[in-house]
Structure 1
Amino acid sequence: MTGDTAAAAAAERVAGVAGELAVRVTRYEAQRDHRAVFAYTYFRLTSDLAAGLRTNNLSFTAPDWVADLSVSLAAAYFTAMDAIDTWLGLVPDARSRPGREVRSADLPETVPRPWRDVYAASTVRHSYVLEEVLFSMMAHMSYDLPLALRALATHADVHHRIADFHRMNDLLASSIDVVQDEIAARYCRRLHSLDRVFVHDDELFTSYGIRVARGMAWFNCDRLLDPDASAEAMGSISRSTAAFIAEFRSPDDWRRRHAFRVLRALVPSRRQWPTSPSTPADVGTVR
């Protein structure tokens, strides 16, 4: 298989992931489910990865491995969301009463702990769009990604793929500003105003933040592969999302902590939804 053919085949596999994400965006938006915001973010970034593979401007040396990682990573996310959906089906009040706050401990252990923490955080009164993106990105990059890398490492040594992993970081990081603008237009036109309020806490939603978070995931994959470090690493990546949420919502600086509490009490989330039901085609075209 030639390089161009391999890249095209890899692009189609990643486009398939984007298509499944588009379906979920449609469903979450129809249900007014807060998970739509991150699903759309993930859809857009995956679409850009598919486009990057199709043109192969970054000269991926192993596009099939890039696709493998994308598919493995998405599978972890889909499994977690499906487990939440199963729980919601058993506890219909959790969806029918949007004012009801859910605790992380309310969700079953079939949902990985970081995603339990994220879902519970999204039910807090006046949860903001920016928070939902940041908390979900934290769970996906600090927990799902090192586990996906470890899964690939059981079949082959991933260390010689670090150049392609870095190329992925470059591509995704270069997309984040445009994606943030699209999220603001779709879900929260005042996102950039809130962005200024949270300016010290939203570094994850930047090109620099994407690179750092994914670099840390690579490091934690190495820890997971080391028998002497794996248990501690697993505990660390399981706890990190809850710690991030706590620090974001209750920062160490008492003045900022007080300001955030006042803000949450007084300022509505200002979330908006598309005016008509979306279809995968409406959500966007895989580039």
Structure 2
Amino acid sequence: MIPIRAAVPTTEEARALLTGIRRAAAVDVELDAVAAELADDEPDTALLDLVAAPFTSVADVDERLARTESYLRERGDRRAVFLTVYSRMTATVRTAIDDGAFVDPEWAASYLVAFAERYRRALVAFERRAFEALPRPWLMAFAAAARGETLVAQDALLGINAHITYDLTYTLGDVGIDPDRDAKREDHDRINAVLARLVQTAQDALAETYAATEIAGIDRLLDPLDDRLAVLGLKGVRWFAWRNAVLRADLPTWAGEPYVDWRTETVSTGAAAALLAPDVDASARLRDAETDVDAAAAFREAVRRRT
């Protein structure tokens, strides 16, 4: 068991937590409004057919995420924007597992499947309008995509935030960090390296998309991506997830679980709120410009060329 003082937030974590706390009240009101707005929408049965069943293997994750991305993209559903990045990440990790890049390939495979399961369950819950089962950062990301009032950049970053800042903590809990914690940390870091490369790819692709389409005024969303992804930054978020997993494993259950839940939801929701805040909100001019040039398609092509 770790000493209680080890659970004290770092300076960076404290800053991120304070950001989330400041935005919590407004976020709660917004989520209630989203639930009321979308509650009567009919679920997409074809989409649910693709993702209703749990993932069973790395190959299943890779193949069904790619099919889901294609399905959403063909229908102009902005939820495809995040999947453009995530499906590429999955394919990259699958290749690394096949190439023997991990200390414990079975654990790495379980990690990838569990990570994807977190996304799949969130997508299914949203599509079935089971909003009470959705983590708040995912509800914010999916609702923004459904409304169609955000930029491609925001759609990508909202999904990345929900999946990394929120889901990664619980994925580590799903697969376990013991025994052989050091080896699992090493493999966690290897997967994080893939995440870092893919997020950099997303940043580069977004920058290329907006430069090529001559959409101005987007710089503050992209420079730098880490600052918009979360107050902690991308590297900090991945370390935050590992620290959360250690806290859950080593603190007494009565203390560790609620404390980690609060940390994770507060930081991820605060980051999502920052991405949707007025200072980075898309103006009508920018949204119209994106529509005119099909920025979502341009973004997908830019990612494809880089992976």
**Normalized against structure 1, the TM-score is what?**
0.70
Following superposition of structure 1 onto structure 2, how do residues 105-116 of structure 1 map, counting pairs within 5 Å? Answer: 108-116=131-139
Q: Match for residue 266 of structure 1?
A: 285
Shift of 1:212: 2.7
Per-residue deviation, 1:45: 0.9
What's the % identity of the aligned pairs?
A: 24
Which residue of structure 2 lines up, in the alignment, with residue 254 of structure 1? none
- Alignment of 1:219 with 2:243, yes or no, is yes
- Structure 1 counterpart of 2:66: 22
For 2:172, the aligned partner's letter is L
Task: Name the amino acid aligned to 1:144.
Answer: D
Which residue number corresponds to residue 233 of structure 1? 260
Q: Which residue of 1 aligns with 2:188?
A: 165
Query: How has the CA–CA distance of structure 1 residues 216 and 190 changed in structure 2, closer, same or farther, with 3 Å as cutoff?
Result: farther
Determine which structure has the larger helix proportion and give its number.
2
Q: The residue matched to 1:117 in structure 2 has which SS?
A: helix
The yes-or-no answer on 1:86 pairing with 2:128 is yes
C-alpha distance in 2 between matches for 1:181 and 1:15: 27
1:112/1:240 CA distance change after superposition, 3 Å: same
Q: Distance in 2 between matches of 1:42 and 1:33?
A: 16
Structure 1 residues 205 and 38: alpha-carbon distance in aligned structure 2, compared to 1, 3 A threshold: farther
Where does residue 203 of structure 1 map in the other structure?
Answer: 226
- Is this contact kept in 2: 1:45–1:175, CA < 8 A? yes
Secondary structure in 2 matching 1:33: coil
**Equivalent-residue separation in structure 1 for 2:214 and 2:173 (angstroms):** 35
Deviation at 1:147, TM superposition (A): 0.7
Alpha-carbon offset, residue 152 of structure 1: 1.5
For residues 31 and 67 of structure 1, do their structure 2 counterparts lie closer, same or farther at Cα, with a shift above 3 Å needed?
same
Deviation at 1:175, TM superposition (A): 3.8
Is contact 2:158-2:275 (8 Å) kept?
A: no
Which residue in the other structure is 2:162 paired with?
139
Deviation at 1:209, TM superposition (A): 4.7
- The answer as to whether partners of 1:37 and 1:183 remain within 8 angstroms in 2 is no
TM-score (norm 2): 0.65
- Does the CA-based 8 Å contact 1:143-1:238 persist in structure 2? yes
Deviation at 1:131, TM superposition (A): 0.9
Q: Residue 41 of structure 1 contacts residue 179 of structure 1 at CA under 8 Å; is this kept in 2?
A: yes
CA offsets per residue over residues 158-206 of structure 1, 9 Å max, x none?
4541111112222332344345455677899549966523245621689
**Aligned match of 1:7:** none
Select 1:249's aligned residue among 276, 282, 298: 276
**For the residues of structure 2 that align with 1:51 and 1:191, how far apart are their CA atoms?**
35
- In structure 1, distance between residues paired with 2:87 and 2:117: 14
Cα deviation, 1:86-139, whole Å, max 9, x if unaligned, reads 22xxxxxxxxxxxxxxxxxxx621222221122223345630111111111111
Residues 60, 184 of structure 1: CA spacing in aligned structure 2 closer, same or farther, 3 A cutoff? same
Which residue, out of 197, 202, 209, partners 1:174? 197
1:74 CA drift (Å): 0.3
Counterpart CA distance in 2 for 1:184 and 1:196 is 8
Equivalent residues of 1:169, 1:210 under 8 A apart: no
Instruction: Output the amino acid matched with 1:232.
Output: Y
How far the C-alpha of 1:52 sits from its partner, in A, is: 2.0
Cα RMSD of the aligned pairs, angstroms, is 3.5
User: In the aligned structure 2, how far is the partner of 1:78 from the partner of 1:180?
Assistant: 24
Q: Please give the alpha-carbon distance, in whole angstroms, between the structure 1 residues aligned to 2:80 and 2:208.
A: 14
**Residues 186 and 85 of structure 1: CA distance in aligned 2, closer, same or farther (over 3 Å):** farther
